[in-house]
Structure 1
Amino acid sequence: MSKVSGITNTRAIKALVFDMDGTLCIPQPWMFPAMRKAIGLEDKSIDILKFIDDLPTEEQKEKAHAGIHKVEEDAMNEMEPQPGLSTLMEYLTSHGYPKSICTRNVITPVNYLVSKFIPANCRNFDHIVTRDFRPTKPNPDPLLHIAKQSLLSPSQLIMVGDSMDDMRSGRTAGCVTVLLKNHVNGHILQDHKEFVDYPIDSLLEIIDILKKLNMESGEVN
């Protein structure tokens, strides 16, 4: 196989990992500015979770976490599924692809999305990694953890996301990276295209990617 944006050899894809916010559900670009406002973080170059971790007292940390939890709760109540989500989940389930979620969110919105927007027969996620797992994305550790627990090589995983954190985490771990494009993440392909193996406009395109990669590897699923 010829090299495609960092993929130097083909192995059959055995499992998929999905980001949640902006990937399994419609982007809510107001959410992160609201979080920063809630905790008084004006410097956009500083990661929200790192800022909270570095606060000097436990009381300040608890107050900051409460602030972003309120924003996440509001976002959860406005959550809408990505187009094609149910169809993709049905395909993965019927073809025996294990699937996981890797998010910097907490578990409550994840459970809400799964129970509300994913068909009942497709709700079995092998691993759900939230921000309780440290270090979080953009570090590769969450994906390496999922690969290890799944007894797979990271190169046998697809990381699907909509942010630079997702792409950097996936690329550093050694996964195939799929970027779900939207109206606010165009800069990733413009400035950091080396982190993206497959840019897509719809979750349904993942089905064709799976067929392509597994056909080229000699394994048809």
Structure 2
Amino acid sequence: DILHCIEAWGPDEQRRAYEAIARFERDGLDRLQIMPGASELCGFLDARQISRRGLITRNVKDAVDLFHQRFGMKFVPALSREFRPYKPDPAPLLHICSTWDIPPTEVIMVGDSLKDDIVCGKRAGAFTCLLDETGRYGPHDSLPEDVKPDFMVSSLPEVLSVLEEHFDLAPVSVAESRI
């Protein structure tokens, strides 16, 4: 984990390393894209009046701000790399739960990293859903118990099914129920 590794270095080495990372990230901002299915997932949540959605990323705040501007989706809180400690520590997710004044047992952490996202969610006591688009983690049953997510999907649209099948979601609006 490069971020944890850098923290062990001296101040000058840290500064140079963070500057190099920042250069790569600035270059990447021009190519920033939304993950397939993200708009549909947010629309699904909006239709059910589920407005609480947070973001925990190892990207810098500038990338998060650009994401919000470019794609019109808002995640509050949106915790970037500047929030410490980093995931897999549960602190970022616990901070979001505290901000929302709800227990972690009422939250689902969806992420594409077993060692960061899922471990963070499990340590916080939340439900977890691993997004494994390429199948790199193998079958759900093959994962070690200490990192096994509650759910595993291969695309964001599959998260809709997980939410509908396993959670008591807020009712749809009256206008939508008449359609």
In structure 2, the partner of 1:138 is: 88
List per-residue Cα deviations over 1:100-136 (Å, max 9, x = no partner).
100111111112222223xx4xx33220111211111
Identify the match of residue 121 of structure 2 among 170, 176, 182: 170
Cα distance, 1:169 vs. partner? 0.4
Is 1:183 aligned to 2:134, yes or no? yes
In structure 2, the partner of 1:25 is: none
Alpha-carbon separation, structure 2, partners of 1:109 and 1:76: 7
Structure 1: which amino acid aligns with 2:144?
Answer: H
In structure 2, the partner of 1:76 is: 29
- For 2:152, what is the secondary structure of its paired residue? strand
Structure holding more helix per residue? 2
List per-residue Cα deviations over 1:127-153 (Å, max 9, x = no partner).
011121111101111101111111111
- For 1:51, what is the secondary structure of its paired residue? helix
Is 1:154 aligned to 2:108, yes or no? no
> CA, structure 1 residues 185+139, in 2 after alignment: closer, same or farther (shift >3 Å)?
farther
Structure 2: which amino acid aligns with 1:159?
Answer: M
Structure 1: which amino acid aligns with 2:29?
Answer: M
Structure 1: which amino acid aligns with 2:60?
Answer: V
Question: What percent of counterpart residues are identical?
Answer: 31
Kindly report the root-mean-square deviation, in angstroms, between the aligned alpha carbons of the 2 structures: 2.0
Cα distance, 1:184 vs. partner? 6.8
List per-residue Cα deviations over 1:167-215 (Å, max 9, x = no partner).
1001111111111112274258444364211111121122222222234
TM-score, normalised on structure 2?
0.84
Residues 200-215 of structure 1 mapped to structure 2, 5 A cutoff: 200-215=153-168
Alpha-carbon separation, structure 2, partners of 1:188 and 1:64: 36
Residues 29-40 of structure 1 mapped to structure 2, 5 A cutoff: none
Runs of 4+ in 1 over 6 A off after TM superposition: none
Alignment length (residue pairs): 167
Q: Structure 2: 5+ residue runs without aligned partners?
A: 172-179
Is 1:62 aligned to 2:15, yes or no? yes
Greater RCO, 1 or 2 (C-alpha within 8 Å, sep 6+): 1
Structure 1: which amino acid aligns with 2:19?
Answer: A
Structure 1: which amino acid aligns with 2:3?
Answer: L
Residues 107-146 of structure 1 mapped to structure 2, 5 A cutoff: 107-117=61-71, 120=72, 123-146=73-96
Residues 39-50 of structure 1 mapped to structure 2, 5 A cutoff: 47-50=1-4
Structure 1: which amino acid aligns with 2:61?
Answer: I
Tell whether the 8 Å contact from 2:134 to 2:154 is kept in structure 1 after alignment. Answer: no
Alpha-carbon separation, structure 2, partners of 1:77 and 1:187: 32
Alpha-carbon separation, structure 2, partners of 1:81 and 1:220: 26
In structure 2, the partner of 1:89 is: 42
